[in-house]
Structure 1
Amino acid sequence: MVNLILGNCPGSWGVRWAGAGPRPPWRRFLDELAGAGYGWLELGPYGYLPTDPARLNDELARRSLRVCAGTVHGCGGLYRPDDFGEILARTRRVAELAAATGAYHLVFVPVPGYRDEFTGAWAEPDKLDDDGWRVLVRTASELGKHVLGEYGLTLCFQPHADSHVETGAQIGRFLAETDPAYVSLCLDTGHHAYAGGDPAGLIAEHPDRIGCVHVKQVDARVAIRARRESLSYGQAVTLGAACEPPYGLPDLPPVMTALRERGRDAFVVVAHEPPPGVEDPADIAARTREYLLSC
């Protein structure tokens, strides 16, 4: 019997990697997460939740919560050789905390990307040259080797909108050229659909490389507007690009079917990314949980 283990993360409460907008107090987040019926969580940006392992484990135990993954944000430069030392240091800090909570995975989110999240300004080209790509796949594998060997965690690289691993072709190349012993994928259904991809098809094509899944849906109308007006993904989120299931893309039942057909358990983490000002993230989380259970 295959288990799809459902969790959620601070991002569904508007806690984004760059700290944009108001953040709910972390105790409120944990209380509301447990109150919405979730038993698992991803830790989210380092420093939002307590970073002392004993204190964090105590707070989680009081609410009967368990950690499926730590999250590395703000390290988008794996393709720049000079950045690797800093990225490794920041990754180790997160991995140490995640391992101390009993986590299984370490999700690596390659942001910032090639555009400024807030202004939409282009920071660099949207495609890497051959040298940059070779550095990216080499350092991703090296980072995964450190994470597994030192902390016993699986590195799950998340393809992200406005990053250099975004489209289906880029994801396929990334998986073909990274070491499967050390690098898995954190497939974000919303980001993949936003880039025009088919998450269920990607899971079926690469069943052995899906480490965990972030579940969100995108509003097709906002995605079309973002392309037409050349908006960054962050600007699209402000306009409501991420919408509450089941009202967006992709269709989620086929995604759940594809995960079950792999024949192994998987963590499925809700990562909603609400626009600023949403007042009922806990209600959305509870409704999303009920919907996903129905799938």
Structure 2
Amino acid sequence: MQFIRFGDRDGAKTPCVVDADGKYRNISSIVSDINPETIGDDLIGKLAGVDASSLPEFDATGKRLAPPSAQPKNIWCVGLNFSDHAAEAGLPIPDEPILFNKSSGTYCGPNDPILYSPKMTKLDWEVELGIVIGKKALNITKEEALDHVLGLVLVNDVSERAWQLERSGQWVKGKSFPNFCPTGPVIRTLDDIEDHNNLNMWLDVNGKRCQTGNTGTMIFDVATIVSYMSEFCQLEPGDLISTGTPPGVGAGMDPQQWLKVGDKIELGIDGLGTQAQTVINLSDL
């Protein structure tokens, strides 16, 4: 099953599923929206057995792609979780997942602009596999973990490296500017993905391929991450976990490359769709 939503940033959203023919089917007669509340209230169960072709088709022409779920309570991230990215950064393979978070205010649609502040100097990109939590998880085992996952989603973990690495404090400082977490276009349930440990990932900047990777080089897989995090915090329905990036980020290039106003970013993951963003001045939003 694939979930997708349409609607202006500050307006009402239309929740849909994607049917077998790739058409969008409006599910608002079944659930009011796709959000932490409806996810936690057995969203999958309410749609089980529903013939998608019997639902009204939604015409998305000219409609904004919203994030596939409404605002999560928490956005979590895993750092240095690809062996080839750790090598690119010249850092050792971590013994345990490196956890940090992004402000929930970073959350935005997959094609919304990336905002450039005049105080930024090292704006960077990161194609990542996102996990959307389906039900509360606390102290669960790795074997139980996937039962707590609603599905997977494409994420661009946008970062301001000078703020992240050169200013005192934690990484969250360089991760939390508005629109630093484009998410979507779809959440795809695990039963609809043949092998989530073998998904190709890519990212282009101005038409040039920068990142090429595969989830098979993740140091900690989806089940490990969810179980590990549940030892330290309660994961809530709708929570987003961004699981790290393959090599090819701007900080790893020689010479280093940073995003500037007017740059265009495109990215994708097998089965999870694509995103496209343009960097704009904050004042132009």
Report the TM-score when normalising by structure 2.
0.30
More helix by share: 1
- For CA contacts below 8 A with separation 6 or more, give which structure has more relative contact order: 2
More strand by share: 2
Report the TM-score when normalising by structure 1.
0.29
